[in-house]
Structure 1
Amino acid sequence: MGRVSMFDCFEGEPKTSLKECLQLYWGYRLLELAQIHGLQVDEGTSDADIIEQLIPKMLDNFPNDVEYLNETEWLFLNRVKQNPNEEMNDIEKKQYATLKWFGYAYLFNHNGHIYPVIPKELLSLLPQSYSEEFERRVERKQKLFTYTLALVNLYGAYRIEQLVDVWNMYNKEKITVDDAKEYVRAMDKRQGYFWYDKGYVVSNLMEDEKQYLALIKNSYRGPYFLPTKSDIAFYSDIEHSLSSSYFKKIEEFIWSKNILDENEVEDLLYDILGVFQLDLSLEVIIDMLKDMGIELNDEDEAEEFMRMLRVASDNTRKWGLRGHMPAELGKSRAKVPVDGPQLQKPQPRTVKKIGRNDPCYCGSGKKYKHCCGKI
């Protein structure tokens, strides 16, 4: 994760009011902020009118939105609050990406120094001293995000009741299904990893309702794989499968071809992981390599690479097996059925909110996952 670059900043002396900061944006970005904050405006609305409508809405939303920040974002917010006029050249994108997405944080490059700004109207809404109740709510929401994401990475799509069951198994403070629904619905617009639909929490790699319902219909009917409490954080890392020794061998093989750059390798590895998670035919991966200009030299190399794929696939937790590995259920690669055309290679969900493969909202021109979403 790199430090903030000058490209992420507005040039000039830092602004301090919310109106001044919003006036730095125009057009699509203001329409985007309007949608994020629940305003109904059309493309014919002037920038000035959108800003006037946004200000009271953002002031109303801010106290609730900040309760959903993760620990890293909280540290950044409090650092700015305590030192509002202090330069911070050591900022990392993951510290402010969510706040920037909501229009709550702005970075200014003034004479070569970076100054973060949380508009003064927003800072005034933060409690002067955090009560135990406030801290408890924030901590619970941060932990709920970890649990929700861990189960998304394991299952692909699951009933909200599964989140409640796993949470209540490991935590003294219990939650209800209504608590979980309220949280997941609120988080739906705040991140690019999962979404909520008709009682299901769904990976953002699932394109639409049809795809995730097909996954559920064709899934193993036994119990879910249940991570231990200590493993929840591990599975919440979207790259946990990519860190296995089996996957590293595939990565080394791809690099040995000297065809792709770093971002292309990362994209390919995510696509391969998607094939494994959905338990698609391994031939799909061979086609991916060909499309990217990677050829297998001979039959021996092809056989060795397919062996790598089979081993890695058998050691990947399958969405169609409710988070189990094939070996845990006594299934080999040859025995696990390959889903038909109902399940396709995962694609980014086509929605207005940011997704991992969407252009980053900071305007860098990079994909979100290679920019502000690279956490």
Structure 2
Amino acid sequence: MNNTESITSPSQTGLVNLLQSNTKDVMMSIAEKHEIKVYKSHTKTKMAENMKEPLLQNLPGLLSYMDSNSQETLKKVMNFKDSETIFDFLDAKPLATLAEHGYLYVEEEDGKFHPFLADEVKEAVKELAENEEFQQATAENLEFSKYLTALIHLYGIYSVEQYVKVWNEHHAEAITEETASAVIARLADWDVQFTFEENLVTSVLFEAEEIDKEGLKRILHVDYYMPTKEDVDYYENYWIDTNSLQYLNMKQYIFGKELDEVKKNRVLYTIAEGAVIGKSGEKLYQSITKQDFTFENKEEVTKFVELFKELREHARTWHNHGFTVQELASSQLVKSANVKLGKQQPVTAHKVGRNEPCPCGSGKKYKKCHGK
């Protein structure tokens, strides 16, 4: 991220002046992102002056592709001086995108570093809030973003071709794969949830949770669940059907534990996410115990395993391309594609020997874990 030395005077926070606070190499990188032809042999002042107007002209196009999270980040930056603002990991990518495009800088105040926009950029953002054309473009791109997010929650990894199939199913005006690729690439500048390479949209959770994606890449040709329009609206915000009997049973179990409500909700979210994405038993155990969730005895472990198995089998999982186990079992998809039903690394419920692995998934022998 661009950095400036303790800027306190408003006259120093104009775009031309701030651009010059970068090295020439950084200025060249910013110019390249905007497709501006500048010469490194020129002075920084001349380079900055040549870059200013194109940067301001390109601002609406860039900002119109912000997802809802990035829009909130921009609001934080705009209102930083007027309210107590806390930036977190969800803000990192939007802040980086603004900085890499030459719009955002950092000032030091009382030993703390604060992000801010160049004066002209801040004024332009305020004007865009009243610009109908910009608001319409933003709304259209948020619709693209909604479909991206919903399909990430349902599939984990999918091709542009699949995105276009779902989009065209629910929109009168069809789009091409070329159009979709261009839009997704622009959205990828902002959205923290996915990467976009080789025409594949891939959830960042594959890497974060160390989930094998190669197996899913090998079956990209297999049919995907086709969500309804209502599904898209729902799965934009949820991993799992929170009204299902299986989810409500798990919720009742979790909320019966001695934890504060915030931790209960976090544990429940972790479990629901884990059921969908294919988190291993050991990983799931580690995640929920870090949130102070514990099993008191063997009966609790067995009960949890049964509830999780039911939840997983009724969820729309990545390993089954958004289908539930029941849907696949009753269809010809598995037979025709010669693909086995997707399975998580098992956490099975059976009579456990003292020298066998504990069914909680900790990796320890039962006698040294919940068999004590």
Q: Given the two structures, how large is their TM-score scaled by the length of structure 2?
A: 0.60
| Cross-structure match for 2:343 | 338
AA paired with 1:216? K
Cα RMSD of the aligned pairs, angstroms, is: 5.3
Q: CA deviation at 1:330?
A: 3.4
| Cross-structure match for 2:357 | none
Q: Cα gap change, 1:320/1:130 in structure 2, threshold over 3 Å: closer, same or farther?
A: same
AA paired with 1:228? T
| Cross-structure match for 1:69 | 66
How do 1:145-184 residues align onto structure 2 when only pairs under 5 Å count? 145-184=145-184
Q: How many Å separate the matches in 1 of 2:205 and 2:258? A: 28
Is the 2:280–2:345 Cα contact (8 Å) retained in structure 1? no
* Aligned partner of residue 196 in structure 2, secondary structure: strand
The structure number with the bigger radius of gyration is 2
Q: How many Å separate the matches in 2 of 1:159 and 1:99? A: 24
Q: Structure 1: which 5+ residue stretches go unaligned?
A: 1-9, 40-47, 342-375
Q: Structure 2: which 5+ residue stretches go unaligned?
A: 1-5, 35-42, 331-339, 347-372
Q: CA deviation at 1:260?
A: 8.8
| Cross-structure match for 2:15 | 18
Q: CA deviation at 1:154?
A: 0.5
AA paired with 1:322? H
Identity percentage of aligned residues: 22
Q: Cα gap change, 1:36/1:200 in structure 2, threshold over 3 Å: closer, same or farther?
A: farther
* Aligned partner of residue 320 in structure 1, secondary structure: helix
| Cross-structure match for 1:350 | none
Q: How many Å separate the matches in 1 of 2:285 and 2:79? A: 54
Q: How many Å separate the matches in 2 of 1:206 and 1:96? A: 20
Q: How many Å separate the matches in 2 of 1:320 and 1:234? A: 20
| Cross-structure match for 1:43 | none
| Cross-structure match for 1:232 | 232
Is the 2:276–2:317 Cα contact (8 Å) retained in structure 1? yes
| Cross-structure match for 1:215 | 216
Matched, 1:275 2:274: yes
Q: How many Å separate the matches in 2 of 1:210 and 1:254? A: 25
What is the total number of aligned residue pairs between the two structures? 305
AA paired with 1:120? D
Q: How many Å separate the matches in 1 of 2:164 and 2:181? A: 10
Matched, 1:303 2:302: yes
Q: Cα gap change, 1:90/1:249 in structure 2, threshold over 3 Å: closer, same or farther?
A: farther
AA paired with 1:152? I
How do 1:1-375 residues align onto structure 2 when only pairs under 5 Å count? 16-18=13-15, 38=33, 58-59=55-56, 61-70=58-67, 88-89=82-83, 100-101=95-96, 102-103=98-99, 104=103, 118-122=117-121, 130=131, 132=133, 134-207=134-207, 211-217=212-218, 221=222, 223-237=223-237, 239-241=238-240, 243-244=242-243, 246-247=246-247, 250=250, 253-254=253-254, 257-258=257-258, 262=262, 266=266, 269=268, 271-279=270-278, 282=281, 285-286=284-285, 288-289=287-288, 294-330=293-329, 336-338=341-343
Q: CA deviation at 1:65?
A: 0.9
Is the 2:195–2:202 Cα contact (8 Å) retained in structure 1? yes
* Aligned partner of residue 241 in structure 1, secondary structure: coil
Q: How many Å separate the matches in 2 of 1:205 and 1:76? A: 21
Q: CA deviation at 1:197?
A: 1.8
Is the 1:37–1:61 Cα contact (8 Å) retained in structure 2? no
Q: CA deviation at 1:296?
A: 2.2
Q: How many Å separate the matches in 2 of 1:140 and 1:235? A: 19
Which stretch of the first structure deviates more once superposed, 117-126 or 70-79?
70-79
Q: CA deviation at 1:144?
A: 0.4
* Per-residue CA distance 1:88-126 (angstroms, 9 max, x = gap): 44989799887644144689999xxxx996433325667
Q: How many Å separate the matches in 2 of 1:72 and 1:191? A: 8
* Per-residue CA distance 1:310-355 (angstroms, 9 max, x = gap): 2221232111211112222337xxx9453679xxxxxxxxxxxxxx
* Aligned partner of residue 175 in structure 1, secondary structure: coil
Q: How many Å separate the matches in 2 of 1:327 and 1:265? A: 27
Q: Cα gap change, 1:219/1:260 in structure 2, threshold over 3 Å: closer, same or farther?
A: farther
| Cross-structure match for 1:366 | none
Is the 1:277–1:317 Cα contact (8 Å) retained in structure 2? yes
* Aligned partner of residue 207 in structure 1, secondary structure: helix
Q: How many Å separate the matches in 2 of 1:272 and 1:118? A: 40
Q: Cα gap change, 1:230/1:294 in structure 2, threshold over 3 Å: closer, same or farther?
A: closer
* Structure possessing the higher relative contact order (Cα contacts under 8 Å, 6 or more residues apart): 1
Is the 1:194–1:202 Cα contact (8 Å) retained in structure 2? yes
Q: How many Å separate the matches in 1 of 2:80 and 2:196? A: 40
AA paired with 2:65? Y
Q: How many Å separate the matches in 1 of 2:270 and 2:341? A: 20
Q: CA deviation at 1:285?
A: 3.2
Q: CA deviation at 1:140?
A: 1.8
AA paired with 2:141? K
Is the 1:156–1:319 Cα contact (8 Å) retained in structure 2? yes
* Per-residue CA distance 1:153-179 (angstroms, 9 max, x = gap): 111111101111221222233211111
Q: Cα gap change, 1:214/1:69 in structure 2, threshold over 3 Å: closer, same or farther?
A: same
Which stretch of the first structure deviates more once superposed, 201-210 or 17-26?
17-26
